[in-house]
Homo-oligomer: A and B are copies of this chain.
Amino acid sequence: MKYAKRMNHIKASEIREILKITENPEVISFAGGLPAPELFPIEEIKRINEIVLEEDGQKALQYTTTEGYQPLRAWIANRMKKRLQTSFDADKILITHGSQQALDLSGKVFLDEGDYVVCESPTYLAAISAFKMYGAKFIEIDCDDTGMDMDALEEQLKQNQKIKYIYVIPDFQNPTGRTWSLEKRKRIAQLSNMYDVPIIEDNPYGELRFEGEYLPSIASFDKKGTCIVTGTFSKTYCPGYRIGWVAANSDLIKQYVLVKQGSDLQCNTMSQLAIAKFVELYDLDAHIQTITKVYKRRRDLAVQTMHQAFPKNVHFTEPEGGLFAWVELPEHINARDVLDTCLASNIAFVPGGSFFPNGGHENTFRINFSNMSEDRIVEGLTKLGDILNQFV
């Protein structure tokens, strides 16, 4: 019995493995990217399920088209127009099994063994694994609080013919929490158009803004149809339904539909109808406001506690939204060693090394602030500060 070559360089997601540890309720977990379950609109979902099954039960439980449920696609298109200033219509949208599947399908559509993906340094861990399965190599571009270094990006686009796409998360990035400036959004769209290299703009957190103005998406500056956008209901509604999407120009979305057909035929019909009914009958914006209010308080407490408890030579981001902050330790400290000590005190986070596809940067880690209650955030980060003080 012989596996495919790709299996030699695939390893278990460190996050999914740490999540198993954090199933122990005593652990204060800053790992994972879990939304706060106490905010799920359970009563509303109960009612919605009943209505959908009452009105349209046979349809809700049957197969549907690969593209997905038309009213949901139409709602998404409108939402994107309003929030991201894009111009994708419903027929340019494919419903996917979370935005994670949109990443997997992107690999399938674009990547041959040895092709290059350009990404932010660091970038989303599970995007790295998804793309690696199709044999991708990675070019990491340095980032600051305004986004990618655009000159470094252009240099790469000029010299490397095997770059298949650029993968970015411009809003409240995972893992850093950073948000790109308007100028860099315009510029990267231009570069993508000029060099005819697609951008995959992953946007799972954009709706979770605590302060400041929503920024238009990179795709809103696209003149030639080279920008692809992914989205999800995991953070604004619930992750358990696994409903996300990918938006792209007509020819591109056809390719995505083709590979989706072979991968799993279609997404959960019932969940698609249920979300469409929810956004019809309830005010999603009000629900998102409820979520962001809670997350903002948690972010505030997390940042405040880190300022108080962390050693002065430890640096961290202060994100304007999303779920994550990013911590940089002095270079000689390995965050995996810190994690070992923390786990013994029932505190968990994700070491940062895994977020760099080409390795290194072991002195970093990611903090999730959305999933724990306020007192546990303070308690956990205070303890974490004590432990960090033993290391610096």
Contact = CB atoms under 8 A, between A and B. Distances in A.
A126 interface: yes
7 contacts: A1-B196, A12-B258, A35-B62, A37-B61, A46-B50, A98-B264, A242-B264
A179 interface: no
Interface string A117-143: 000000000100110111000000000
The 5 closest A-B pairs by CB, nearest first: A240-B269, A37-B58, A61-B238, A42-B57, A129-B262
A90 interface: no
Contact of A240 (B1, B62, B126): B62
Nearest to A263: B104
A261 interface: yes
Given A10-B259, A16-B66, 18 more contacts: A3-B110, A4-B115, A7-B259, A10-B262, A11-B258, A12-B258, A13-B262, A19-B65, A32-B63, A37-B58, A46-B54, A49-B53, A63-B239, A100-B263, A100-B265, A239-B269, A240-B268, A240-B269
A2 interface: yes
A306 interface: no
A254 B255 CA distance: 30
B239 A62 contact: yes
Interface in A35-61: 35, 37-38, 40, 42, 45-46, 49-50, 53-54, 57-61
A184 interface: no
A5 to B, nearest CB: 5
Given A58-B40, A60-B240, A268-B268, A108 B6 contact: yes
A150 interface: no
A177 to B, nearest CB: 20
Chain A, interface SS category: helix
B130 A262 contact: yes
B1 A197 contact: yes
A94 to B, nearest CB: 13
Contacts of A35: 62
Interface in A325-364: none
A383 interface: no
Contacts of A42: 53, 57-58, 61
A93 interface: no
A257 B13 CA distance: 10
Contacts of A2: 110, 164
Contact of A63 (B34, B66, B197, B262): B34
Contacts of A240: 60-64, 268-270
Contacts of A54: 46
A219 interface: no
A101 interface: yes
Contacts of A13: 261-262
Interface string A229-273: 000001000111110000000001001011101111111111100
Contacts of A100: 263-265
A49, A234, A269: which has the most chain B beta carbons within 10 Å?
A49
Given A241-B270, A242-B266, A261 B12 contact: yes
Given A61-B238, A61-B241, A111 B261 contact: no
A268 B255 contact: no
Contacts of A255: 3, 7
A45, A112, A261: which has the most chain B beta carbons within 10 Å?
A261
Contact of A261 (B66, B126, B261, B262): B126
